[in-house]
Amino acid sequence: MTNIIEIKNIEKSYYPSRSVRVPALTGLSLCVREGEMIAIYGVSGSGKSTLLHILGGLDRPDSGEYILDGEVMGEKNDSQLARVRNEKIGFVLQDFGLIANRTAQDNVIVPVIFSKKSLREGYKRCKNLLDKLGIPELERRKVSQMSGGQKQRVAIARALMNEPKILLADEPSGALDSTTKEEIYAMFDMLRKEGKTIIIATHDHAIAQIADRVLQMKDGQLSEC
Amino acid sequence: MKKILLSIQIFLDNWLMNGILLVFAALVAVLLHFTVSEYVKYSERLILARDYGLQNQILVGNMLPTDDINRISERLAEASEEVIQLPGVARYAPASFGITALDEYRGNFIPLECVNEEYYGKTKYALAEGSWPNAPNEVALTAEAMALYSIGDNIEVTFYLSDMNDNMTSHESTIEIVGFVDENVAIWELVPNVFRPGLDELTTTLKEYADNYSPLDERMVFGYIIEPTTASGERIELIYQGGPYLITVNADTDPEDIKPQLIEIFGGGRVHTGPEMIHRYKVEHNEEYLQLIRFAFISLVLTMSSLFAAVFLQLRKKRLEMTVYYICGTSWAQSLWFFIGPYYPLITMGSLVGSAIYFKLAPQLIRTDPMTVVVILVFLLTVCSIQVLPSYFSARRIHPTEWIRKD
């Protein structure tokens, strides 16, 4: 299998104030094969989210090289990065990242707004996705009226809307009870079997049972567990 | 198209605040139109006074409640020699003469002010079309009469005059239409019957004049004639009745210096110097004008405060939503613009609605032109930018991942 993600010597620091530098990633390298499912463990502040943000084109590294699906990400401007996020990447966040006063359909359709697909096509796919994720009845319900598990399914549906090659999940089970967690993991397993490349940053070791590789994040570096 | 729909959805999410903003923007636009209109009107009359040389003139003869109109007219005429002998007085003459022409064929009454080259050379009224009369029986009518006559029309009329004893005399004649006067510009109306006249009382517009007396549908139009003559070309002797007289003083004479002597001749309350009337106008008008500016300023402050609050709240409350759009495939700048950009069409719409309301509700007060609509729009958009753009650039500096990063 070919590598869909290749990163070499990525560095990223934050500056809470001018004189204070907090390194988040320190010369990190990683290769991810297409269709692979990777779990990244690490304590809070270890740099998991930072890594996911860079992998997802939400943020840029200070230095290092990042190649996604054969494209050098460092050479892209903001609009081109936005296009990559829209077409190739789906995000699932711990706190769902949904617009509370909108319906599931309104939320799931968002990636279509920024894509070349028509809204008609988008609504059709939205319906199919909600069916597939077992929440067809939530299509017209406002997010603010849903449970945590329902919200996370809607968030997954949105992440899958533009049929991305890569799914990035940042603590996807952080706000869920154990039963719901298992259901969400089962969904990730199903998506992996469909050929999606999935990278999950988590504290929860239960994900190891379904991941192809498990990596440990510590002090801005990754190591195989 | 999809992005426009999203913008509309975001805009409607905040409909109450946006509705308030729309109302405020419209209110500001209306008040700015009133302010501009008032200023144009205000300046126009001052320019008229300057061109007419009112600084060097004195108006005498406005009536007091106890006056008999025939007696005061006689008194004004009798005083001619006495006044002209006063040091510094250059001219003492009736302020205006009028004559009415009847166009029997069309059934129109045409009250005409009799003017000479000196008069309209000083007044500089704007013409809507054609030229000022410069030969006997040439007339310029109010622009409203363009619906009834064209330039070059020769009209058979009967001139009517009434003397001091209300005896009517009539003369058959022909007049030629040579121009149409812009009915919106300020003109002199030197027939004050007010105790303390200012420029407001001495001036009007042909439009207001016509509206006060008789609208066009009653077949009455107003105009100016250079010297009425009969059909055989004989000059018609005009009879002056009841109006005020104007005293013109030499350029090196202060009208205030001879005012006491004029009061001795005509009595108190009947003598008004040009500078005094101009000053009175400025004082009275400034108060109204300042009041209007105050209202416009307060409305502008309210609009801008609401706009600032709306932008601030949008950027604070909608961070997650902006970040969602960013994650789902738009740039951060565009994501922010979805929330801030709609204020520009909103303010534009408010400004245009305000202009439309002004033009619809106050046609008799309109002293502004379409360019003013554009100027007000640009002004509001500029002020809008002063509020919106700093917030936008400030928000752009914070990277969206700052709002979703957990560790």
Q: How many domains does chain B have?
A: 2
Q: What is the pLDDT of residues B346-357, one digit of tens each?
A: 999 999 999 999
Q: What is the pLDDT of residues B235-246, one digit of tens each?
A: 888 776 667 888
Cβ of A113: how many Cβ atoms within 10 Å? 21
Contact B119, B262 (CB under 8 A): no
pLDDT for residue B375 is more than 50: yes
Residue B74 included in any domain: no
Contact B202, B190 (CB under 8 A): yes
Over residues A168-197, mean pLDDT: 81
Query: What is the band of A219 on the pLDDT scale with cuts at 50, 70, 90?
Result: confident
Inspect the interface and report whether the beta carbons of A82 and B326 lie closer than 8 Å: yes
Residue B51 included in any domain: no
Out of B189, B224, B242, a domain closes at: B242
Residue B266 included in any domain: no
Inspect the interface and report whether the beta carbons of A97 and B401 lie closer than 8 Å: no
Which pLDDT does position B407 carry in this prediction?
43
pLDDT for residue B311 is more than 70: yes
Query: What is the band of B174 on the pLDDT scale with cuts at 50, 70, 90?
Result: very high
Residue B152 included in any domain: yes
pLDDT for residue B150 is more than 90: yes
**Residues B40, B137: one domain?**
no
Over residues B181-209, mean pLDDT: 76
Chain A residues with CB-CB distance to B9 below 8 A: 106
Chain B residues with CB-CB distance to A48 below 8 A: 407
Domains parsed from chain A with CATH numbers: 37-61+77-224 (3.40.50.300)
**Residues B121, B225: one domain?**
yes
A49 part of contact set with chain B, CB < 8 Å: yes
Q: How far is A56 from chain B (nearest CA, A)?
A: 8
Query: What is the band of A225 on the pLDDT scale with cuts at 50, 70, 90?
Result: low
**Residues B141, B227: one domain?**
yes
**Residues B237, B137: one domain?**
yes
Out of B242, B266, B301, a domain closes at: B242
Higher pLDDT, B315 or A215: A215
**Residues B236, B335: one domain?**
no
Residues 6+ apart with CB under 8 A from A165: A4, A34, A69, A88, A89, A196, A197
Q: How far is B391 from chain A (nearest CA, A)?
A: 20
Contact B245, B60 (CB under 8 A): yes
**Residues B37, B170: one domain?**
no
Closest-CA residue of chain B to A59: B401
**Residues B231, B343: one domain?**
no
Residue B278 included in any domain: no
Mean pLDDT of chain B: 83
CA-nearest of A47, A44, A53 to A22 is: A47
pLDDT for residue A128 is more than 80: yes
Which pLDDT does position B352 carry in this prediction?
93
Which pLDDT does position B403 carry in this prediction?
66
Q: What is the pLDDT of residues A45-64, one digit of tens each?
A: 788 888 889 998 888 898 88
**Residues B395, B310: one domain?**
yes
**Residues B223, B100: one domain?**
yes
Residue B66 included in any domain: no
**Residues B228, B322: one domain?**
no
Helix/strand/coil for B80? helix
Out of B221, B242, B263, a domain closes at: B242
Query: What is the band of B340 on the pLDDT scale with cuts at 50, 70, 90?
Result: confident
The contacts found for B13-17 with CB under 8 angstroms, 24 or more apart, are B13/A101, B14/B310, B14/B314, B17/B306, B17/B309, B17/B310, B17/B313
d(CA B238, CA B241): 9
Sheet holding A71-72, edge to edge: A20-33, A3-17, A63-68, A71-72
Residue B75 included in any domain: no
Which pLDDT does position B381 carry in this prediction?
92
Higher pLDDT, B218 or B301: B301
Contact B120, B225 (CB under 8 A): no
**Residues B185, B305: one domain?**
no
For residue B100, the enclosing domain spans 96-242
- Identity of the residue numbered B153: D
**Residues B299, B216: one domain?**
no
Chain B residues with CB-CB distance to A98 below 8 A: 324
Which pLDDT does position B237 carry in this prediction?
81
Over residues B39-62, mean pLDDT: 85
Give CA separation, A171 vs A14, A49, A155, A200, B188, in Å.
21, 9, 13, 7, 83
Point out which residues pair with A68 in neighbouring strands: A5, A71
Higher pLDDT, B299 or A167: A167
Residue B85 included in any domain: no
Which pLDDT does position B48 carry in this prediction?
86
Which pLDDT does position B104 carry in this prediction?
86
Query: What is the band of A134 on the pLDDT scale with cuts at 50, 70, 90?
Result: confident
